[in-house]
Amino acid sequence: MKPYQLIPIIDCGEPLIPIPSHLFVLETPHPYQKLGAPYDHRSPFYVRVGVLTALTKARMLLHQVKPNWQLQIFDAYRPLAVQQFMVDYAFREQVRQAGMRFNTLSEFQRQEFLSQVYEFWAIPSSDSKTPPPHSTGAAVDVTLVDEGGALIPMGSPIDEISPRSLPHYFANSPSLEEQAYHQHRQLLGDMMKKAGFHRHPNEWWHFCLGDQMWVWLSQSTEGVNKPQIAYYGGVL
């Protein structure tokens, strides 16, 4: 169990609503759908009402600094079956990249690979007390695109399981190119924070609002008015 999963949840009952494509860039077809993830009739581009309000504020803040840049939503709502599918996919990819074969792994090796995966992917828990963040409709994976629709370079792709995904990985780099990556990550992070989000400690692209992780991160950064209870639980 991760520390944030100890935060209690009292769901406020807000519905999931669609992210408007005229305000945000949506990656379509969705990358996980292209892999075969089982969304069925559900869309990945849904969030809770309050999360969309905050995203709209983040968009406004971005335009104050970079008028022609846009916020791209890579991923948002993730049904539990999709979470399980992507954990399994990430596990297989880690094994493949290590040059090993799944059916020859020892139990120790299997657990080592799983621990790598779970540093970035939440356990696909069906327990209402420990929902995966993306299954609450309160977590979003976001990045920036320029006026021509090109991705702003961030130094690593979304979902990469490596130290490069840490938000401040390039902070002290002597490379001008890598310093630009850091500045872009800082711009994204500052804009989202001002809109009310907190960023995942291990992922430059993952932001949350109102879920267990958000409360846990708030408690370590905010003053006397620290939230104690998450108000977005699982929509499984």
Kindly give the interhelix angle for 176-194 and 49-65, rounded to the nearest 10 degrees: 130
Q: Report pLDDT for 221.
A: 79
- CA–CA separation, 174 and 105 (whole Å): 40
CATH class of 3-221: alpha beta
Residue 66: pLDDT band with limits 50, 70, 90: very high
Q: Which of 68-82, 103-117, 184-198 has the lowest average pLDDT?
A: 103-117
Closest to 76 measured CA to CA, from 43, 99, 49, 103: 43
What's residue 103's pLDDT? 84
Catalytic residue among 112, 119, 203, 222: 203
pLDDT tens-place string over residues 117-158: 998 999 999 999 999 999 999 999 999 999 999 999 999 999
Q: What share of the chain is helix, strand, coil (3-state, %, to 5)?
A: 40, 10, 50
pTM of the model: 0.94
Confidence of residue 224 (pLDDT cuts 50, 70, 90): low
178 an active-site residue?
no
